[in-house]
Structure 1
Amino acid sequence: MEKRRLTAFFSTVDIYLYTSLRLICIVCLALLLALLIGNVFVRYVPFTAFYWFDEVVEWLFAWMIFFGAAALWSRNDHFKLEWISKKLSGTTAGHLLACIVELLSLFFLLIFFYQALRLTMLARDWTPVFNIPRRCLYVCMPLSGAIMVCYSIRNVIRELMLWRKEVVQTKTPLPTRNTDL
């Protein structure tokens, strides 16, 4: 019963996290579109200047890209080459390949998370227009990295469980000796 509760809890967290990541991306994209349209309009009807345009676009792009990557990672919807994995699907070699790929991804994401966290902590400068710490811009990198690390751990565990399940199902019982003859 406890396993079901834990699974239900993680499923609920997953749904809310994915929805939040998508919402962040949608809001960032909508704001980028509005700013772009506004900037084009102001060029032809010059009544004000968007002197802060570059700074806001930089923030919105960074947040949209990194949180979008985390959202895609959570659903395994990111770009990947599947030719070999589809050929080996359902085999021991296929599960082994999937585990190796997931472990390599996890290794890369751990390095990314560490370096992004380090960059965020070491950032001391401030944005020129809004005078906001650059850490606020950079925080999207370690956050999205941590999210992707968690999902990679989930993927490794899931793949190992699928592999184990397949091994258990494919084991054939040893032939018994017929002593009744």
Structure 2
Amino acid sequence: MDKAELVFNKVNKLLEWFLIGVFALLVLDVLFQVFSRYILGTSFTWTEEFARFSLIWMTILGAAYLNAKREHLSMDFLYGKFSLRNKRKASIFIEVCIFLFAAIVMGIGGGNLVYITLRLEQLSGTLRVPLGYVYAILPFSGLLIMCFSVYHIIKIYKNKNAL
């Protein structure tokens, strides 16, 4: 196992545990919300906002995690009919497209969103958290996806017989 693969596996494991933690917090938050509403007879407004922010983080980071595992949604009917050489070319093309999307939309666009919301000092309605911190998951996940795409491209080039 080379150094890049070791780092890749450690980042994936860390990301996996972080996603499990966010999901656990989301479940606890929603359970507390239901408990407080039906048992205590009162509703805490912050629980809905926390659940929304947790879901945002889980979804965006989950996309990066699935990209690392190469388990994102795909339609591979045509891909399955390609020769090994054309599969390699298509895989590299797909990884380049994913890299460009992550760089432009998530990295640049997400970075601008974070910058603008922090500059304007926008706060969330209930928790009063700067929205830039919530949106920071976009450029961070974009950077992860870009790194994973580069890793996959290198792996495709090194291994001539498999994808």
- TM norm structure 1: 0.78
Q: Write the distance in 1 (CA, Å) between the matches of 2:125 and 2:29.
A: 19
- The answer to whether structure 1 residue 104 and structure 2 residue 97 are counterparts is yes
Q: Write the distance in 2 (CA, Å) between the matches of 1:84 and 1:38.
A: 47
Find the partner of 2:145 among 122, 131, 148: 148
Over the aligned positions, Cα root-mean-square deviation in angstroms equals 1.9
Find the partner of 2:51 among 47, 57, 60: 57
Residue 18 of structure 1: aligned partner: 12
Return 5+ residue gaps in structure 2 as ranges. none
Q: Write the distance in 1 (CA, Å) between the matches of 2:83 and 2:155.
A: 15
Larger radius of gyration: 1
CA contact (8 A) 1:127 1:134 kept: yes
1:128-176 CA deviation, whole Å, 9 max, x = no partner?
22322111101111101100011112222332344xx46xxxxxxxxxx
Q: In the TM superposition, what is the alpha-carbon distance from 1:46 to its structure 2 partner?
A: 2.9
Q: Write the distance in 1 (CA, Å) between the matches of 2:132 and 2:75.
A: 34
Residue 118 of structure 1: aligned partner: 112
- The answer to whether structure 1 residue 77 and structure 2 residue 71 are counterparts is yes
Instruction: Name the % identity.
Output: 23
- TM norm structure 2: 0.86
Evaluate the alpha carbon distance shift between residue 100 and residue 52 of structure 1 in structure 2; reply closer, same or farther with a 3 A threshold.
same
1:72-120 CA deviation, whole Å, 9 max, x = no partner?
1111011111222222152x22222222222222221111221011111
- The answer to whether structure 1 residue 158 and structure 2 residue 155 are counterparts is yes
Q: Write the distance in 1 (CA, Å) between the matches of 2:46 and 2:5.
A: 40
Return 5+ residue gaps in structure 1 as ranges. 167-181
SS of 2:127's equivalent in the other structure is coil
Question: How many pairs does the alignment contain?
Answer: 157
